[in-house]
Structures are given as structure tokens and as C-alpha cells.
């Protein structure tokens, strides 16, 4: 009897583990170490936060940053993480290209000292977007809001860097701690083409054509000597 119960319990646990694995977003592990992830809408009670600016330590409120913007991307990162260092140039390109259209980026430093985070950005010529600090050491890994959101989103990576959350300010709750109950999430590196298409759509911009359309050139008639 007990043997049958043990077998039944094991079967249930195995089924639950399989379901959890199936629910987790697929990540494309490339041979060169990249961890690209799809853009998925997730049920996520994403709360407003106020963190210190990496630049001068002044308080930065996400709700204030989002004011008058059309789309905000919050990217959680660890300054020492190779996957973040690979994604940062993509983030910079997208930010530089679409900031004039209402796109904003806020980077949240995790699991590294402020000195290390500053050194990273100094090595890149500075940060063109806002950078704030939530945690300053690896011991805080499972105590951050970043960790909590990753668990909800099914991100099973150990450090979860980078982790991207897209917010639409026009749809955010006007009051209360919870800004939104749903958010678009990328639990890994951005796929640049997909991210840009999404950004253009949310900003109300025409989609870019992958192929330059053919243009009909005016025909000329060449006279023939008789």
C-alpha cells in the first residue's frame, strides 16, 4: 500500500515539475554564450519603486520617470554579467533611435557595488539612460524585487541578468503601489529585431520594411538613326 502511495506521489510531483518546465519561457542558448529570450506578456503585479541614482545618489521614482512617456523599458542587470554586456549595445541603439518618440530606458543595477557599476559605464563612455541601484552585493540575490519578478515570470536563471520589463505609461494605474497587473517581459537578452518591432508598434510608428521596395524608373526612348 505504502509503495503504491509513494509511486502515486512521485507521479504527481513529476507531472507538476513537467508543467512548471513547460510554463517557463523558452530561452535560446547560443554557442557563444548568448541567452536570447522571447517577448511575452506576463501576469505581473509590477509595483512602483524609488531607488537611488547611480550618478549622484538622488531618489528616482519610476512613476516620475514614466510621466509623459509612451513606453518605458526597465532593464535589471549585473555590471559583471557577460550577457548584460552583450545586450547593452542593443539597448543603447534602441534608446538613441527612439527616445525622441517617447521611449525611455531605466537600468536597475543588481548584485554589484556602485563602484563596479560606475566603472562599467565609465568604460562605455557613460550611460545615455537613467541608471539606479537596488542591490549592491551577491548576497542579496533572493531578497530583491528583481528576484521576485523573475520567479513569477518563470525565469530559472541563477542571476537573471539581463531581465527586461516593458511598461506602457498610458495604461498604468494612476494611484496605488501596483503600477500594472500585466507587463511585457524578456527573461534574457533582447532579440533586437523583435524588440524594435515591438517598440515601434507601441510608439505608433510605421513598421520598417525588411526589403527596400523596387522603384519604377522612368523609361527613356533612344532614337535610332534611319
CATH of the domain at 99: 3.40.30.10
Q: To the nearest whole number, what is the mean pLDDT of the chain?
A: 87
pTM passes above 0.85:
no
In a domain, 33, yes or no: no
Q: What is the dihedral of CA 126, 128, 131, 136, to 10 degrees?
A: -30
Say if 75 falls within a structural domain. Answer: yes
What pLDDT score does 107 carry?
A: 99
User: Is residue 209 situated within a structural domain?
Assistant: no
20 is a domain residue: no
**pLDDT confidence of residue 206:** 81
User: How much is the pLDDT for 181?
Assistant: 98
Residue 216 confidence (pLDDT): 53
CA–CA distance, 97 with 73 (Å, rounded to integer): 14
Does the pLDDT of residue 74 top 60, yes or no? yes
Q: What is the DSSP letter of 136?
A: -
- List Cα–Cα distances, 132 to 94, 109, 154, in angstroms: 19, 6, 24
Identify the domain containing residue 58 by its residue range. 40-203
pLDDT tens string 189-220? 999 999 999 999 999 998 776 555 555 555 54
Would you report the helix, strand and coil content of the chain in percent, each value rounded to 5? Answer: 40, 25, 40
Does 7 fall in a domain? no
For residue 213, the model assigns a pLDDT of: 54
Read off the DSSP letter of residue 200.
H
Distance of alpha carbon 116 from alpha carbon 28, whole angstroms: 28
Number of domains in the chain: 1
In this structure, is residue 131 part of a structural domain?
yes
Residue 94 pLDDT grade (very low, low, confident, very high; cuts 50, 70, 90): very high
CB atoms within 10 A of CB 126: 10
Amino acid at each position: 500500500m505504502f509503495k503504491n502511495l509513494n509511486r502515486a506521489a512521485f507521479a504527481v510531483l513529476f507531472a507538476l515539475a513537467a508543467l512548471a518546465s513547460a510554463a517557463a519561457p523558452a530561452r535560446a542558448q547560443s554557442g557563444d554564450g548568448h541567452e536570447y529570450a522571447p517577448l511575452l506578456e506576463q501576469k505581473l503585479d509590477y509595483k512602483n519603486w524609488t531607488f537611488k541614482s547611480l550618478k549622484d545618489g538622488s531618489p528616482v521614482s519610476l512613476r516620475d520617470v514614466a510621466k509623459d512617456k509612451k513606453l518605458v523599458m526597465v532593464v535589471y542587470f549585473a555590471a559583471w554579467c557577460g550577457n548584460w554586456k552583450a545586450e547593452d549595445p542593443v539597448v543603447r541603439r534602441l534608446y538613441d533611435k527612439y527616445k525622441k518618440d517617447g521611449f525611455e530606458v531605466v537600468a536597475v543595477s543588481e548584485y554589484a557595488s556602485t563602484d563596479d557599476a560606475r566603472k562599467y559605464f565609465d568604460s562605455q563612455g557613460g550611460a545615455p539612460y537613467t541608471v539606479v541601484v537596488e542591490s549592491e552585493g551577491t548576497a542579496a540575490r533572493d531578497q530583491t524585487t528583481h528576484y521576485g519578478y523573475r520567479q513569477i515570470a518563470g525565469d530559472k536563471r541563477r542571476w537573471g541578468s539581463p531581465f527586461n520589463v516593458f511598461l506602457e505609461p498610458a495604461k498604468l494605474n494612476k494611484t496605488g503601489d501596483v503600477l500594472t497587473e500585466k507587463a511585457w517581459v524578456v527573461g534574457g537578452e533582447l532579440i533586437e529585431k523583435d524588440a524594435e518591432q515591438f517598440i515601434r508598434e507601441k510608439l505608433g510608428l510605421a513598421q520598417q520594411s525588411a526589403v527596400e521596395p523596387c522603384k519604377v524608373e522612368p523609361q527613356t526612348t533612344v532614337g535610332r538613326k534611319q
